[in-house]
Amino acid sequence: MIAVDRECEAVSRLFAVKSIRSQAPVLVKSDNPIFRRKGSSFNLKSLREYQPCDDLRQIDWRLYGRTDRYFIKEFYEEENERLLLLVDASASLSVFDLDYYRSFIASLACILLELRFTISLAAFTDRVEASSLNLKERRDLPRALDFLERLPFTGGTAFAPVLKSVRDRYRPTTLFLFSDLFDPRLAPAHLRPFRRVFLQHFHTPFAGLPLDFTEVELQDPETSRSLLLSHNPGSRRAILAAEREFLAPWGAARAGCHYQRLEKDTPRVPLYWRILESLYA
């Protein structure tokens, strides 16, 4: 059974007090422009000159009385934010602590549901494998837990086709990506088509591995190939340099992308709070 952090309820309760938007129904959360697009509501977007095809009901008659010219009022239409939790279920995740991995995702889902966001989950390897859509309330949490419990953690990873499929199929306004990023073809540019991304990188540092022997044989869980590590100072420096090169592109700040690196002993509650602060920014 997946354990949800006990602090989730407190985090969601405190953040609901902190943010006035979370106290209102989803469809009227209009304080932030990310929730709005052009349409009809009480939030004025702009004024423009009248065109023959325009609806006469949109004319600003008061402005006409002052200027003797016709202007059309354009408003924002309230839009529900679509949150997609995209979960890496490839074999390489077995290197990480899977209890931590599942618990983190489940706890974040619990908090989002408590705050009355509508969320969907999708699992992927080299393609989208399964999904659980439109969870809207706290009582839908068992569906999310069951979804995470069933993840098989097998197969390889291919981000490019998965991200394209997700963009075309689900069209999320906000993407939460949970992965170890073990795909050499993946680059930050693959995330640019999404309006906003929360990238949760589950990383097992090389320095933390218990390699006490001169040579260690490891098996790649995705390809089943055997890898021989020579545990000497030269090899260690080369591996640490490769690890720094792997991590470097993801730590750089980019508009619309919020990156967090997690290790097996990373405290989770500050991460939840940081995500919520960014989500409501």
pLDDT in tens, 81-127: 789 999 999 999 988 999 999 999 999 999 999 998 999 999 999 99
Q: How far apart are CA 51 and CA 2, in angstroms?
A: 58
C-alpha Rg value of the chain to the nearest Å: 23
* Residues lower than pLDDT 50 in the chain: 20-42, 76-79
pLDDT at site 22: 44
pLDDT at site 20: 42
What is the CATH superfamily name and number for domain 81-279? von Willebrand factor, type A domain (3.40.50.410)
Domain boundaries, the chain: 34-78, 81-279
pLDDT at site 14: 85
pLDDT at site 29: 45
pLDDT at site 110: 97
pLDDT at site 99: 96
pLDDT at site 59: 83
pLDDT in tens, 240-262: 888 888 888 887 767 889 999 99
Burial class from Cβ neighbours inside 10 Å (0-12, 13-18, 19+) for residue 177 reads: buried
pLDDT at site 74: 67
- Report whether 21 contacts 115 (CB < 8 A): no
pLDDT at site 27: 44
